[in-house]
Structures are given as structure tokens and as C-alpha cells.
Amino acid sequence: MFRIEPRKEPSTLMLYATPLIAVALTILSGFVLFTLLGKDPVRATLLIFYKPLTSFYSLSELIVKATPLILIGAGLALCFRANIWNIGAEGQFTMGAVAGGAMALFLFEVEGFWVLPSIWIAGALGGMLWAAIPALLRNRFNANEILTSLMLVYVASLLLSVLVHGLLRDPQGQNFPESRLFHDAALMPILLPGTRAHVGFAVALLAVLLTWALMRWHVIGFQIKVAGQAPRAARFAGFSGKKIVWFTFLVSGGLAGLAGVFEATGPVGQLVPALPVGYGFTAIIVAFLGRLHPVGILLAGLLLALTYIGGEGAQIAMSLPAATIQVFQGMLLFYLLATDIFVNYRFRPAPMKTAPPSTPASPTAQ
Amino acid sequence: MDLVANILIGVIIAATPLVFAAIGELVVEKSGVLNLGVEGMMIIGAIAAFATTIETGSILGGIVAAIICGALMALLFAFLTQTLLANQVATGLALTLFGLGLAALIGQGYSGKSAPPFPKLHIPGLSDLPVVGPLLFGHDFLVYLSFALGIGVAWFLNRTRAGLIVRAIGENHDAAHAIGYPVVLIRYATIMFGGACAAVGGAYLSIVQTPLWVENMTAGRGWIALALVVFATWLPGRLYLGAYLFGGITIVQLHSQALGLKVEPQLLAMLPYLATIVVLVIISADRTRARLNAPASLGQTFFASH
């Protein structure tokens, strides 16, 4: 048998290896899953993980899907680093789409260089406002931010539904619950001609760069890291816990809001009740798979976007159930969390005889 | 009078799944483990019960299937957090995401079908009494079980030696380990009990409340159950108060049309979620009261160094 032993230092090798191991294990489990579903596992795996990489158009779609995942994931990583659990990014995404979409409808048929920035700022503010609620409730009333931010996801999606059924409904839309199509001046400029890939991806890359610089050089980045790894040390150092909560929630909410408005004025082109499709939750997986590091998140965002695109392809080509991809994403997070033990602990063969009592090491709690 | 009785019965039916899920989570948290995967275990319970009931025609078989599948989901969580020492918050989220996906995958062929009617208690004479009859003597057995469960859990935690050990582990797992209690083993047991309870709550949704299978039909009830445990300050009795309060809110939403309220249905549908937030704020604002019964080791990873 083996015994688990804490490492003196977290293993850097394992830190980078475990996401790859997790992906490999997920693909292996996918084989089992496809066989159980009565599908050809090799073909399904190739369709999901390889086929989208072989054509220009599906590569551009990869960018479309990765944009919201990277934007939201980069923000969530800041929260999770500080041990603050904003899991309501889906709601902040929706409110960003609502606020930005409302601005786009308000500026309907208005032209000008300032139209796009106004819409984007409105979107970011919408997300920040929604994220400010759990931050305020935690700082002021000590309310658990996990539960409040999650409850607000449902509220946001109902609010979107109310608005597209009423105030923001298309006047010429024969009572369909959707807004009118946004005016051309409000739509996301296209990055690659002939595709749906829009400048939002460039913004996402910028967000990756900025959050990376923030964590590396800015004092708030340092405070976030200390607050997450050693809360007591952070208190002794006099870092304001409340300030960290505000900062991480507002940044992650703003980025989720941007992702929302980009989605509404990008690939969707109008406000519809089905706008939130779970990017806010998938981005949680992206953040963990990317090791809460901006560059990792960029790669993880692309990988999960690949499962979306490939999954859609497999759905059409092999009539694979749509939920398969959701199961895949869940498994990926499980395997990642399971293999994480190799980072902080190592397995040693247990001694044959009863070991002499060793000096008790302090349990390393996460 | 019939309307009053109907409304009250509606409250009971809406509250029962919350009671099951929350009472299970309460035991888990009392042992010092925070399992945020209640939503995922509930939805797995819902589809396991529904599919088994449709395939075998046996409602009891459906409930047993839910219990087994819920406990298995919880076992996955226990293995990750107790044996592989994974972060409980992240693992709970993974359990929810995975459960929602897996349930949707299994549930593919079951949307549109409906489960056979669930038998209700009928005591000749007593159940026919006006108002009181249907309210006290006219429910399905799960409603009565939900009350028995609460009493059983309260008795177990406060009056038995095993319950004391569970609470000791939740308060200080290092001390409990030092005097020789098998911390990890006991936590495996409480986590699986919690999973089974959450799954029965889910089963109640799909085979009694609707009785249909709809994707994502738990609609956040697992999370509301988590909030209820905080609201109840980890006391089983107060948990019922909370669950019935939420049942009442749900029913207001359903009966508003009959009561002549002219409000958008979506705004009414927000009520349970907004109420959860309000309740959390009120309970958490008083820090001493909120922490009075909170297990001190809640959510912390336990590693036995020797």
C-alpha cells in the first residue's frame, strides 16, 4: 500500500502536468462513454477533438466560443486566487448582455465612433453592478457569496426574459419574445472576414495580458495571492479583506458583463431569452484547468471551446446527445481535482513494519 | 375552505423536496464537510427515480434507485475530498456541473413521458374529514418520511453517542482524530447519507410534484437547500420553518393568477431566489448568532499526518 505524504514545496512539474493528465483521462473516459452510448468511440473522439482544427471556418468558430470563456475565466481566476467564490458569472454575463443590449437599442440607427464604446461600457457596468450585489452583501452583512451570487443567476435570466417579453421586445416582431436585431453600428466588428470571429477575442487577449500584469506587478495582485494562501498573514499585514472582495468581484463581474454584451452584439445579434447558455459555469472549469493563471486560462478556454465546436459537429454527424459535452466538461474538472493531489502531496510506499512516530507535520489545508 | 386546504397542501408538496435535501446537507455539514453538489445529486435522484419508475412501473423501485445513485454521486465527492484531499468548494461545483450534464444525457428519452400516480395515504373516516383530513392524513408516504427523518436526525445528532462523534469531528477534526475516531470513514458515511437524502428530494420532484422529467428541473432547489441550512443555523427544527416558508413563496407564485394579481410571471418566479438572498442576509448579519451552531471545521481539508 501507499501512504500520502505532504511535499515540502508544491511540485512545479505536477502543476503543469496534471491539467494534461486530466485531459487525457477525460478522453479515455469518453471512449467508455461513447461505447456505452453505442457510438464509434474513435470516430467520436476525432470529431470532437481533432476535426474542428482542420478547417478555417471551424477554427474561427473556436475563437467565437473561446472569447467569452477566456474573458470570464480570467476574471474568475482573480476571485478564486483570493479564495473568494464568485460562481454567479453566468448572471453577470446575462446582465452585461441586458445592459449593453439596452444601450444598443437606445442608440438604434445612431452612427458614430462612440456608439460601440458606449455599448461595451454599458455591458461592463451591467456585469459589475450585478457582481456588486454579492460583494456588498458579503462585506456589509457577512452573507455567503457563493449562494447569493448563484441565486442572482436565476434572477438575471428571469429579468432578461421579462425585458424581452415587454420593454425591449421588437415592436415589429409579432409578439416573439426577442428584441429587434441590433443596428449595424452596434454590432461587433469582425476580425476575420467571412467568419463570425469578432474583435472581442482581441479584448479577451488584452484581458489575459492585463490580469497577468496585475497579478505579477501590482500590489493588489500580491494582496490577492496572500489573502488566498495565508489569510492570517494578510490580516497581520493590514490588507483590507473588504477591498479585495470588492476588487475581485467588480473586475470579474465587469469581464463577465463584457463577455455578455460581446455575445449579444456579436454572434447572436439581438437579445433573446436563450442568450445565457452556461459560459459562466464552463468558465469556472476554464479557470481551474488553466491553473488560475491567465496564460493557462487562454489555453484552457481554447480547449473547452474545442469541445463545444467538436461536440456540435459530433451531434450532427453521429446524432450524439447534446448533454454529452456537459458530461465531458464535468469529468474534466473531476479528473483535474483528483490529480491535484500530486501537486502538494506525494505517494510513498508504506513501510512494512509500523513506523516509529514521526514528528507531526502541520496539516496543509487548502 | 377548500382553497385554504389546497394552498396548504401545495405548500407541503413544494417544501418536501427542500426538506429532504437540506436535512441531508445538515448532517454532512455537522460532520465538517461542505458539499456544494446538492443540486447535482438532486437532479441525478430525479432522473434515476423517474427512469426506473417508467421502466419497471414500480415507484418504490424508483425511490430506491434514487437513493443508490445519489449515494454513488456523493461517494465520488467523498473520494475526491476525503481521500484525494481536493478542495471541497471546487469539488462540489464539479459535482453539480457533472450531475446536471449526466442527468440530461440519461433523460434524453424520457421527456414527455409521465410517471404513474403516486399513492396517497387514505384512512377511511379520518382522511375524509373536511380540511383536516387531507391536510393531516392524505399525503404520500414521503411527506411523512420527511418529518420522521428530521426527528430522527435531531435525535441522532443530539441524543446518541454516534451523533456526538459526528459533531465532534465537525467541530475539530484534528482533536477527534487524535482521540482515535475514524474521521475520514465517518465523513464518507455522512456524505453518502447526504447524497441519498438529496436524491430522494430530487425523486420527489420528478415522480410526485410534476410528475414529469424536464431538463434542469431542480432549478436551483439544491442551492436553496444549502441556504436553508445556513438559515436554520444548523438546527433541524428551524430547517422545517425555512423549507415551509419557501414552499409558501412557491405557492404564492402558482396561485397569484387565481388571487387576481397582475404581475409578470417571471417576476413572481424570482421570488424564491430573492427570498433566499434576503434570508441569508438577515441570518448572517448577526455574526454571533450565525456562528453559534456552525461546525468549526466546516469546509476545511483534513489530512492525518500520522
Binary contact (B305, A338; C-beta < 8 A): no
Query: Picking from A295-299, A322-326, B12-16, which range would have the lowest pLDDT averaged per residue?
Result: A322-326
Binary contact (B273, A288; C-beta < 8 A): no
Asked if pLDDT for residue B131 goes beyond 80, the answer is no
Binary contact (B270, A155; C-beta < 8 A): yes
What gap in Å lies between CA A277 and CA B235, rounded to an integer?
A: 37
- Model confidence pLDDT, tens digit, residues B24-35: 999 999 999 999
Tell me how close the Cα of A193 comes to any Cα of chain B, in angstroms. 35
pLDDT for B1 equals: 57
A314-323 average pLDDT score? 83
N-terminal to C-terminal alpha carbon distance within chain B: 65
Binary contact (B90, A288; C-beta < 8 A): yes
What gap in Å lies between CA B270 and CA A21, rounded to an integer?
A: 41
Taking CA atoms, what residue in A is nearest to B223? A147
Chains A and B: how many Cβ contacts under 8 Å?
A: 157
A3-22 average pLDDT score? 84
* Residue A145 CA from chain centroid, whole number: 17
Q: Of the candidates A130, A96, A165, which has an alpha carbon nearest to the alpha carbon of residue B265? A: A165
- Model confidence pLDDT, tens digit, residues B94-130: 999 999 999 998 888 888 788 777 777 777 777 777 7
pLDDT for B103 equals: 92
Q: Of the candidates B78, B97, B101, B98, which has an alpha carbon nearest to the alpha carbon of residue B88? A: B78
What gap in Å lies between CA A187 and CA A267, rounded to an integer?
A: 9
Asked if pLDDT for residue A317 goes beyond 50, the answer is yes
* Residue A150 touches partner B, C-beta closer than 8 Å: yes
pLDDT for A111 equals: 83
B11-17 average pLDDT score? 91
Binary contact (B93, A150; C-beta < 8 A): no
pLDDT for A363 equals: 47
Which chain A positions have a beta carbon within 8 Å of B105's beta carbon?
321, 323-324, 326-327
C-alpha cell at B115: 410517471
* Residue A315 touches partner B, C-beta closer than 8 Å: no
Structure confidence at residue A313 as a pLDDT band (50, 70, 90): confident
C-alpha cell at B118: 403516486
pTM of the prediction?
Answer: 0.89
Which chain A positions have a beta carbon within 8 Å of B242's beta carbon?
none
Binary contact (B303, A364; C-beta < 8 A): yes
What gap in Å lies between CA A79 and CA A280, rounded to an integer?
A: 14
In chain A, % of residues over pLDDT 70: 95
- Model confidence pLDDT, tens digit, residues A49-60: 888 888 888 899
Binary contact (A341, B85; C-beta < 8 A): yes
Binary contact (B266, A333; C-beta < 8 A): no
A332-338 average pLDDT score? 90
Structure confidence at residue A362 as a pLDDT band (50, 70, 90): very low
* ipTM entry: 0.88
* Residue A346 CA from chain centroid, whole number: 30
- Model confidence pLDDT, tens digit, residues A231-290: 888 888 888 889 999 999 999 999 999 999 999 999 998 899 989 988 999 999 999 999
Tell me how close the Cα of A98 comes to any Cα of chain B, in angstroms. 16
What gap in Å lies between CA A275 and CA A126, rounded to an integer?
A: 15
Taking CA atoms, what residue in A is nearest to B287? A142
Asked if pLDDT for residue A355 goes beyond 80, the answer is no
User: What are the residue ranges of helices labelled H in chain A?
Assistant: 12-36, 41-49, 56-81, 89-106, 115-141, 145-165, 200-217, 219-229, 231-236, 241-263, 279-289, 294-318, 323-339, 341-344
- Model confidence pLDDT, tens digit, residues A173-186: 777 888 888 888 88
* Residue A319 touches partner B, C-beta closer than 8 Å: no
In the beta sheet, which residues pair with residue A346?
A5
Average pLDDT, chain B: 87
- Model confidence pLDDT, tens digit, residues A140-195: 998 989 999 999 999 999 999 999 988 888 888 777 888 888 888 888 888 888 88
Tell me how close the Cα of A366 comes to any Cα of chain B, in angstroms. 7
Torsion, CA A240, CA A242, CA A244, CA A248, rounded to 10: -170
Which chain B positions have a beta carbon within 8 Å of A163's beta carbon?
none
**Which domains are present in chain A?**
65-311 (1.10.3470)
* Residue A23 touches partner B, C-beta closer than 8 Å: no
pLDDT for B95 equals: 94
**Which domains are present in chain B?**
2-292 (1.10.3470)
Binary contact (A154, B230; C-beta < 8 A): no
Burial B134-173 (b: 16+ CB within 10 A, else e): bbebbbbebbebbeebbeebbebbeeeeebebbbbbbbeb
